[in-house]
Structure 1
């Protein structure tokens, strides 16, 4: 029963974790699309410096998207192996993502001049993105809540798998355990076998034989 529950939790974590990877992949594709448009716009201006750094809005989308893909990969490895280090690393990444999201949301809702906290975007993509969110606030709000809920659910599943542990050979008392696969039984001391029969006496020493012969001669 325990093995079945653990297998279901592993599959569920992989499925939930895939949604995080899909969000990260969508952000990477969106950043690449913006970069292509940016290259076409800058190619029309020969005086534009080619070494000019990538606008921060594209870099932020690209970095966050790659980070989400890395988190998805870590979550899949942790779900497949139930390794303690991978699970701790996965939960640590999710926790950092929660802190980042909480910081951005708190800055937007509590600070009236929150736009000044971000550097100027010469492409205007940041303003377009902001206007799109404002015009579709209800849809974007539910999408954001869904993403946060998926992250929280994935972290909860990782904590449950960490509590269950990787002991997959001790799930039921009805199963026949293989001593070679059970570390606690592998080096168990087995009692020695005893044979019931007539006592066997070893050869007596020569000194004891000489002493008995001397006693018989004195008689």
Structure 2
């Protein structure tokens, strides 16, 4: 029984941390969007002066907000200029909503909330696995990333290349941890349904 209480507290703590992280992502994304609007001249379109294709608009954290202003024909060139900021806010909102279901479900022991939470976590894991498979098998993602004048991306990419074995084990460990907690959640839901 003590183990059950421990895992319940661990689930509540993990969901609280994820809720705060989701809110922080949304807040920081809104800050970045406001800064981008201020720098680009207000509207959601291009900056007031035409920029050469190789030039970048940089603000906030360089790795998160380097936006290529060049003209091109790819899908990513047709997206709004602040597409990464919108994606960042969206991911933060999704994490917030999922972890909120987990917090409410764990605190009230509501079976409906816990079932919805388990479904959303499994869906999130599948999306993460799909994104990881896309990045791993499709090498064209390197061409889509905007040029980083600070070269922080190159430093990070070289570091990961040198320490690829460690990065793989860390990624495997996090996936196993997510799967294990998902199984615990589902088993907890199953126990509550039969009580």
TM range (shorter): 0.5 to 0.7
Q: What count of residue pairs does the alignment treat as equivalent?
A: 158
Secondary structure, in 3 states, of the residue corresponding to 1:112? coil
The residue that corresponds to 1:14 in the other structure is 12
Report the CA distance shift for 1:22/1:136 in structure 2 as closer, same or farther (over 3 A).
farther
> What TM-score, normalized by structure 2, do the two folds share?
0.62
Give me the whole-angstrom Cα distance separating, in 2, the residues matched to 1:18 and 1:161.
18
Within 5 A, what are the aligned runs for 1:89-168? 89-115=116-142, 130-131=153-154, 133-137=156-160, 138=163, 141=167, 148-165=175-192
1:148 shift after superposition:
3.9
1:63 to 73, 86, 90: 90
Give me the whole-angstrom Cα distance separating, in 2, the residues matched to 1:30 and 1:145.
28
> What TM-score, normalized by structure 1, do the two folds share?
0.56
Q: Flag the structure with larger Rg.
A: 1
Report the CA distance shift for 1:57/1:24 in structure 2 as closer, same or farther (over 3 A).
same
Give me the whole-angstrom Cα distance separating, in 2, the residues matched to 1:132 and 1:21.
31
Comparing both chains, which one has the higher relative contact order based on Cα–Cα distances under 8 Å and sequence gaps of 6 or more? Answer: 1
1:56 shift after superposition:
1.5
Report the CA distance shift for 1:55/1:133 in structure 2 as closer, same or farther (over 3 A).
same
In the alignment, is the contact (CA less than 8 A) between 1:6 and 1:164 conserved in 2? no
In the alignment, is the contact (CA less than 8 A) between 2:16 and 2:99 conserved in 1? yes
Give me the whole-angstrom Cα distance separating, in 2, the residues matched to 1:146 and 1:26.
25
1:88 shift after superposition:
1.1
Within 5 A, what are the aligned runs for 1:136-215? 136-137=159-160, 138=163, 141=167, 148-165=175-192
Give me the whole-angstrom Cα distance separating, in 2, the residues matched to 1:83 and 1:115.
44
The residue that corresponds to 1:182 in the other structure is none
Give me the whole-angstrom Cα distance separating, in 1, the residues matched to 2:114 and 2:170.
26
Once the two structures are superposed, what CA deviation does each residue of 1:40-70 show, in whole Å capped at 9, x if it has no partner? 320295469xxx9462211111101111011
1:97 shift after superposition:
0.8
| Cα RMSD (Å) | 3.6
The residue that corresponds to 2:36 in the other structure is 38
The residue that corresponds to 1:73 in the other structure is 100
Report the CA distance shift for 1:144/1:86 in structure 2 as closer, same or farther (over 3 A).
same
